[in-house]
Amino acid sequence: MEAWIDIIILFFMAVTVFAIARLRNLLAVVMLGGIYSLLAASIFVVMDAVDVAFTEASVGAGISTILFIGTLALTTRIEKKPAHTPLLPLIVVCITGAVLIFGTLDAAVYGDPQSPAMQDVAPYYLENTKKHTGIPNVVTAVLASYRGYDTLGEVTVIFTAGIGVILLLGSWRRGISASTRRKEEEE
């Protein structure tokens, strides 16, 4: 049963990707991107990774779609026709895909308790989280406490992104006089 759910969701994801590659209307592409994220979130739910699914649904399907639409409002809605033939990109994509599939042949079977990833720190976290932090959600404990440095770095990335947008497009540019801006646009 679970395998069928996976197959159906993956099939829909493949269809979405083909539609994205074919379409020239960027608004439709953004919408399909949101649908793709939602399908990915469903896959994560099937895999019992609810925290990841939650992030994918809220960030991937929700806020990125909104930000993409905001970008489209600032730029244009129709993609230009590419000048070159799509043959070379197709070959590159096919080779990359083949290499990726070749790579999965050596990967551990999904959910295998004997795989290296399950043998190293995972049992330590599962055993000690309750003892150390008293928190039932191991994911939160790992993110905020055991791997606190990583999360600090991630927040710094978000912070930097926000500062970058403010510097590039922010309203402080109102102070720049109209003539300077006109000069900038000419350049």
Partner 1 sequence: MKEYLVLRVITKLLLPFILLFGLYVQFHGDFGPGGGFQAGVIFAAGFILYAMVYGVKAARKVLPIGILRGGIAGGLLLYALVGVANLMLGENYLNYTPLAESMKEGQHLGIFLVELGVGITVASVMMTVFFTFATWRED
Question: Would you tell me which residues interact with partner 1 (CB under 8 A)?
Answer: 50-51, 53-55, 58-59, 62-63, 66-67, 70-71, 73-74, 131-137, 139-141, 143-145, 148-149, 151-152, 154-156, 158-159, 161-163, 165-166, 169-171, 173-174
Closer to partner 1 at the Cβ: 92 or 165? Answer: 165
Closer to partner 1 at the Cβ: 19 or 45? Answer: 45
Closer to partner 1 at the Cβ: 63 or 98? Answer: 63
CB of 123 to partner 1, least distance (A): 19
CB of 117 to partner 1, least distance (A): 21
Closer to partner 1 at the Cβ: 7 or 66? Answer: 66
CB of 186 to partner 1, least distance (A): 18
Instruction: Find out whether 27 and 50 touch, Cβ atoms under 8 Å.
Output: no
Considering only CA atoms, which of 118, 102, 98 is closest in space to residue 110?
118
Closer to partner 1 at the Cβ: 5 or 67? Answer: 67
CB of 33 to partner 1, least distance (A): 16
CB of 16 to partner 1, least distance (A): 22
